[in-house]
C-alpha cells in the first residue's frame, strides 16, 4: 500500500468546515485516480482537552463525508505530535495525565478514520520545544541528552497505558524521530528504539508500539549506512517497524532527489510489506516559515492559481508515486536475483 501525505495541502483539515471538506475530498479523489491506496492526515493540536474530545466527533463526521464521496475503500493513517501543554515526558503528574488524555483522543481519531489505523509522528516529546536553563541558555549536545534522559524515563509509565489503550482500539503506534534542528530527541531511529525497548510491555496484551522510519530524517540525522541496517534489523526483530515515509532530504519532490534508493530499499524491502508514504512538505502555512522554505509552492489545483513553469501538487504526487513504484519493483528484482544466486 502506498499513501500520500496531506502535508502537500495543509497542516489542518478543519474537520468542522463543510466547504473545506469538499476541497479535501477533491484532492483525495484526484490522488485515488492516480493510484494511491490511502492518505496520511495531520491531526492539528487543540488547546484544551474539551476541544480534543470534540475533535474526535468532528473527524468521525468528516470520515462519513469521505465515505459518501466514494472514498470508503481508501485507507488512512494519522500524523500526531505532542505539545508543551500535553507532554508525556513532563516531571509533573498533572501534565502527564493531560498528555495521556490528549493522546488517547488522537488514538480515537485514528481509529475513527479506519484501517490500517497507524498513528505516527513525534508524539513522545513535544515537537520543537527546546529546553533552556533558568537563565535562558539553550541546552545542546551532552547537556541536552542528559536533560532528556529522565524525561524519557518518566514517559515510560504513560506509554504503557497509552499502548494498552491503542491495542484496545486496534491502533498501531509508530514514533517518528525528527531531525535535531527541528526538535529535541528522539532524532534518530536508535533513540526511539532505545525508549521503546526500555518499557516493559508484558502486562499489555497486543501492545504494538514501534517506529516510523523516514528517509529524509535518516539522511539528515543518521550515523551512516551500517547503523541504518542495524536499526532496521533491530526494529524488525521484534516487529516494531510499522511505517516507512519516503521523503526527500529537502522535503520537496521525491522523483528527482537525494534519496539513496538502493541502499535504503534493499535493506527495508526484504523485511517490510508496507504501508509506504510519499511525503512532500509544501510551502503552505505553517511549513513555509517553520521549515524556512525558499522554494516556490507547488500550486494546489482548486486552491491556488496555476503558475507557469511551476509544477502542481498533483504533478509532484503523480511523479512521486511512479518513482516509488519503480524503485520498489527494482528492489524486489534485486532481492529475487540475490535469492536465485544463493539458491
Mean residue pLDDT of the chain comes to: 95
Of 139-143, 188-192, 201-205, 267-271, the one with minimum mean pLDDT is: 201-205
**Bond preceding residue 186 cis, omega within 30 of 0:** yes
Mean pLDDT calculated for residue range 291-311? 91
Give the model confidence (pLDDT) of 147-172 as tens digits.
999 999 999 999 999 999 999 999 99
Position 273 confidence tier, pLDDT thresholds 50, 70, 90: very high
Whether the predicted model's global pTM rises above the 0.75 cut: yes
Of 74-83, 185-194, 221-230, 272-281, the one with minimum mean pLDDT is: 221-230
Q: Directed axis angle between helix 189-197 and helix 225-237, to 10°?
A: 30
Show the DSSP H helices in 281-312 as ranges. 287-290
Give the model confidence (pLDDT) of 85-109 as tens digits.
999 999 999 999 999 999 999 999 9
Give the residue, 285 or 101, on which the prediction is more confident.
101
Give the residue, 264 or 207, on which the prediction is more confident.
264
Q: Directed axis angle between helix 49-66 and helix 93-113, to 10°?
A: 10
pLDDT for residue 175: 98
Q: Is the pLDDT of residue 343 over 70?
A: no
Distance CA 91, CA 75 (A): 37
Q: Directed axis angle between helix 313-342 and helix 261-268, to 10°?
A: 60
Question: Helix, strand, coil proportions of the chain in percent (round to 5)?
Answer: 50, 15, 40
pLDDT for residue 339: 74
Nearest residue to 268 (alpha-carbon basis) of 328, 325, 180: 328
Give the model confidence (pLDDT) of 303-331 as tens digits.
999 999 999 999 999 999 999 999 999 99
Amino acid at each position: 500500500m502506498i499513501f500520500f501525505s496531506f502535508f502537500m495541502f495543509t497542516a489542518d483539515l478543519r474537520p468542522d468546515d463543510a466547504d473545506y471538506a469538499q476541497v479535501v475530498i477533491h484532492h483525495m479523489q484526484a490522488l485515488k485516480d492516480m493510484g494511491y491506496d490511502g492518505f496520511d492526515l495531520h491531526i492539528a493540536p487543540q488547546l484544551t482537552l474539551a476541544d480534543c474530545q470534540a475533535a474526535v466527533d468532528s473527524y468521525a463526521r468528516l470520515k462519513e463525508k469521505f465515505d459518501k464521496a466514494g472514498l470508503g475503500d481508501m485507507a488512512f493513517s494519522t500524523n500526531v505530535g505532542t505539545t508543551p501543554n500535553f507532554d508525556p515526558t513532563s516531571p509533573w503528574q498533572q501534565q502527564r495525565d493531560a498528555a495521556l488524555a490528549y493522546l488517547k483522543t488522537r488514538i480515537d481519531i485514528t481509529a475513527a478514520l479506519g484501517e490500517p489505523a497507524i498513528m505516527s509522528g513525534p508524539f513522545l516529546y513535544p515537537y520543537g520545544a527546546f529546553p533552556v536553563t533558568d537563565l535562558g541558555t539553550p541546552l545542546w549536545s551532552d547537556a541536552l541528552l542528559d536533560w532528556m534522559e529522565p524525561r524519557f524515563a518518566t514517559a515510560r509509565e504513560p506509554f504503557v497505558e497509552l499502548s494498552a489503550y491503542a491495542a484496545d482500539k486496534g491502533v498501531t503506534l509508530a514514533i517518528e524521530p525528527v531531525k535535531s534542528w527541528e526538535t529535541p530527541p528522539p532524532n534518530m531511529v536508535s533513540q526511539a528504539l532505545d525508549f521503546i525497548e526500555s518499557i516493559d510491555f508484558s502486562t499489555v496484551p497486543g501492545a504494538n508500539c514501534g517506529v516510523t522510519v523516514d528517509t529524509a530524517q535518516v539522511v539528515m540525522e543518521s550515523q551512516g549506512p551500517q547503523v541504518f541496517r542495524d536499526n532496521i534489523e533491530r526494529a524488525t526483530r521484534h516487529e516494531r517497524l510499522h511505517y516507512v515515509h519516503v521523503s526527500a532530504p529537502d522535503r520537496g519532490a521525491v522523483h528527482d532527489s537525494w534519496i539513496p534508493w538502493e541502499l535504503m530499499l534493499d535493506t527495508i524491502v526484504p523485511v517490510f510489506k508496507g504501508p509506504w508514504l510519499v511525503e512532500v512538505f509544501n510551502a503552505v502555512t505553517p511549513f513555509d516559515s517553520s521549515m524556512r522554505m525558499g522554494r516556490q509552492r507547488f500550486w494546489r489545483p482548486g486552491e491556488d492559481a496555476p503558475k507557469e513553469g511551476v509544477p502542481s501538487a498533483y504533478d509532484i504526487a503523480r511523479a512521486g508515486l511512479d518513482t516509488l513504484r519503480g524503485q520498489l519493483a527494482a528492489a524486489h528484482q534485486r532481492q529475487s536475483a540475490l535469492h536465485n544466486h544463493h539458491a
